[in-house]
Structure 1
Amino acid sequence: MDFQHTLLSWYKTHKRDLPWRHTNNPYIIWLSEIILQQTRVDQGTPYFLKFLDAFPTVTDFAKADEASILKLWQGLGYYSRARNMHATAKQVIGDYNGVFPTSYQELLKLRGIGPYSAAAISSFSAGAKQAVVDGNVFRVLARYFGIQSPINAPKGIKEFNVLAAELLFMPDPGLYNQAIMEFGALQCKAKKPGCSICPLNVDCVALKTDSVGKLPVKLPKAAKKSRYFNYFICIKNNQILVRHRLAGDIWQHLFDFPCIETKDAYDGLQPDLMDAAVAVFGVDSSLSLKTSLRHILTHQLITAKFFLVDDFFIELSKFDNCKWVSLQELDELPQPKLINNFIEKFL
């Protein structure tokens, strides 16, 4: 038990004072866990506080409209998680009479909650004997025990989960899970870990074998798909034309601008793009390139060009899912981070 006791002792001294650590309310812990799957603690904390302020209970979350949830989520990416959260809140109201479950098995029945989230919520809210294995835990275990199995391969994931379960500190599983996660975040960091002052350095296999920088092992990711968006910015009478994105592609239910996607990147106003724009905006229309931005998603690399359109003629009925909004209304609409960046810098 030396490994576990050392982690618990370290945690008692070094743990951060985080807002979700002052409660065992499963709803609040659920909020924090889903948000922190998207980003680091320092970036995720303001989002957590905004969500908790807007929706202090799961009932408030369930009653919210999707647009307000997506707006609060803006900038985190993976918007499907925000929609899953909304569905989860409604499910808790409908199936559990508004009482957020704490059982690992019941949590797995909720939309968007997998084994990791179920283990974390049940462990932190009810002391369930479930090992919580996130990226920090993978790193600590891989280095301390010298495990070479890839952490993103099924065999490796199973191996790490079995080991984590064996190491679980049964007198207080929730405290131990917090300790090893925090240790990975602050001490056994991915870059520049504090090995010289690490309380586990005497028995750390990676340190002994000079392989700290090589562990944990990850299989290479598949190459990202490149996509090229050409956005058209139409402004008239202090209103701007926006498009509501539907299901079937990225950024579902968010708002961007009328767009033509091309197979290749354009250096500027290529003839075929001009012809396509004329067909949409009329023969007297003209385009000027405002800027070009790149945006990286998990599996896609987006290159977006933004064209200002002048002298356009628009029959709104011919524009699928488009509408005119004021610039104030535009600011209130949920947008992809790429679009929000353009608006903030250029509008």
Structure 2
Amino acid sequence: MRPISYSRVSDVGTAIGTVAADPESAFLAGGTTQVDLLRIYVEQPRRLVDINDLPLNQIEELPDGGLRLGGLARMSDVAEQPAVARRYPVVTEALVLGASPQLRHMGTLGGNLLQRVRCSYFRDTEAPCNKRAPGTGCSALDGVNRGHAVLGTSDCCIATHPSDLAVALVALDAVVRTEGPGGSRGIPIDDFYLLPGQTPEREHPLSHGELITGIDLPALPVAATSRYIKIRDRESYEFALASVAVAMSVAGGRIAEIRLALGGVATKPWRARAAEQVLDGAPATVESFTRAAEAELAGAVPHGMNAFKIELARRTMVRALTAMAQREETA
């Protein structure tokens, strides 16, 4: 087993400086995925810098009426926060459906957003995997790929992004706040995740030593009428086969505002902009919802075992939109 050094820090500057100075180091927060990957030698940092003592676990009001969620806030704490549940129910639902209670108590928001895009071949160190070993190939293309992506794929990778929370945040246009060797910045959540293209090992634009300090939820009235629907093989903890985050308002029987994102079917949290364009101002009917789903999935590419996901995603979108329209009618 490769030796790993460990240190614990209590201020952001020290944490960033320590990791930035060593290319083989990494931050350690909840560790719910990271430690698992360490145990099977998929990830092998030389040093772990424990950041759990950093003052980044607060939930704060923003001047514009939005909320800032601390990067080290635990998933369970955010899910139980009344302000989040009231103003952004899609976030609460995604957190609850995203992990078992034990994992929610340990997992942090920043860690959830940064969990590796992975499949069984990524975890199998004997199998070719471009994410784990760039240039070796993608075993999933002609392998067991039932759970893999149909949107945003390339010939280098078809793994689905695992985060439920990220799907909700993409629908809401959240902003990821970071601190790093180059200073602080805010990254729109849809730009935070990269398509695999020819470099699937690069999943986000963070530099080494750059730390997620918070997530800004914008002041968004339509977010109060939002929900998250997740379809999976079992009700206990499991990744999504297809999921939908939707925020929608209806006026006079027509869709006044719509925000839509998909999970479980793409290589990144997928903003459904084609569907939004179809739905903007359209009648809030099953026919409209079906047209929107078909428009979004027109470019989907199946790979053997996962062809069913296209129809599953279509049905899940129609189901989520129909449920929101019925809720609006009875409100």
Q: Establish whether TM, by shorter chain, passes 0.5.
A: no
Larger Rg: 1
* Greater helix content: 1
TM-score interval, normalised by the smaller of the two chains: under 0.3
State the TM-score, normalizing by the size of structure 2. 0.27
